[in-house]
Chains A and B, each alone.
Chain A
Amino acid sequence: MAGMKTDIEVLAAYLGHSSVDVDIDDKQKVPLLGVDGGFKLRGFGTICKYLAKQAKRLDLLGNQPEAQAAVSQWLEYRITQVDRCGTDKDKQCILEDINRFLQKRVYLVEYQPTLADLLLYYSLHSVMTELTFLEKQKLMHLSRWFNQVQHLPGIYQTLPVVPFQRNRIYGHSAH
């Protein structure tokens, strides 16, 4: 919940918005964004897409309908699966799923960074900071993707950089 609010603010800062009016509706735990015209937008995915369009960063949303749908799907995935998973075992499952998905891909959707990459990066940042080097080496594709996203211009300064190192101590038996 607090995660959603800070993430929206960080995203807005990345996109170049000077200030955003974000609230959390306590009863339903849904973020609200105040927009011109007075009414409030509800929903994490909606708000993120709106901010991106407002900043004229349509590349972040995906070029074709399929890509756009995929971005929406990842935003939903983030809210329903990632943010809500409680136990460590769930977390590990999710990390492994994403790792497998990233085996063939540089970015989550198509060939360029999109909102999906950014928001999943924000969401997983706290988890990745706590992983040991061995675990990072086991989730090789996830680590590679994470390292790539965190070095993108504009993202690099916002959150502390998580170190990745391929350590030959662990060798090939680790994967």
Chain B
Amino acid sequence: MGFGDLKSAAGLKVLNEFLADRSYIQGFTPSQADVAVFSALSGPPSADLCHALRWYNHIKSFGKATASFPGQKKDVSAYGPAGGASAADDDDDDDDDIDLFGSDEEDDAAAAELKEKRLAEYAAKKAAKPGPIAKSSIVLDIKPWDDETDLGEMEKLVRGIETDGLVWGASKQVPVGYGIKKLQIMCVVEDAKVGTDFLEESITAFEDFVQSVDVVAFNKI
């Protein structure tokens, strides 16, 4: 595989990455491998490719002595990640290939297509499934006209209000004063479907019994 085109930015990036934990292209001493790659570069790498620049300055410092480096000069494409696994190399490059969690190259187009299809199916299933429904618990205070109003009747009427997303809960009668009691009743509503204005309107429709309605508590569940 090699570095790619070393005169391009992409190739230089590969070289930089390769040299991050290496001092020389091959092994631990300067060799003809370094000379080959050095001559393939058109100039010093930029400062942000710090590993490549470090290596470049180091090889440059040898000057003419580079001709006497050991080894045999091969084509540049023989060096670099996966390409440098040639003959006399030590366990350096094996480290590169141990990619415990990485996925293998998707050479197979059919496999890639299958994967796409499965992804699309999963996404569609997810979208179709309703998410968690937002619910709230509301406590209402319903006040009668006077102490002679029949609260039991009132409660029956209120519980008669039925709509999608509304579930009536417990109720109790709370004395207010002067013998008058108010009805406190709980309900659980789905936020998207039922709101407090609907509840207030429908309850105050029972004009004979209900003087007013108040929301005491509104808690998200």
Contacts and interface: CB of A to CB of B under 8 A. Distances in A.
A165 B28 contact: no
B62 interface: yes
Contacts of B99: 168
A106 B23 contact: yes
A6 B148 CA distance: 104
A105 B51 CA distance: 9
B191 to A, nearest CB: 39
Nearest to B27: A151
B100 interface: yes
A168 B55 contact: no
Contacts, number: 48
B105 to A, nearest CB: 14
State the main secondary structure of chain A at its contact with B.
Answer: loop
A110 B50 CA distance: 17
Interface in B36-90: 50, 53-55, 57-58, 61-62
Contact of A111 (B20, B58, B96): B58
Interface residues of A, number: 20
A104 B50 CA distance: 7
A164 B54 CA distance: 20
A2 interface: no
Interface residues of B, number: 21
Contacts of B57: 104
A152 interface: yes
Given A111-B61, A111-B62, A144-B20, A106 B54 contact: yes
A151 B23 CA distance: 11
A165 B95 contact: yes
Contact of B102 (A110, A147, A164, A168): A168
The 8 closest A-B pairs by CB, nearest first: A151-B28, A148-B23, A111-B61, A106-B58, A144-B21, A106-B23, A165-B95, A168-B99
Interface of B: 20-23, 27-28, 50, 53-55, 57-58, 61-62, 95-96, 98-102
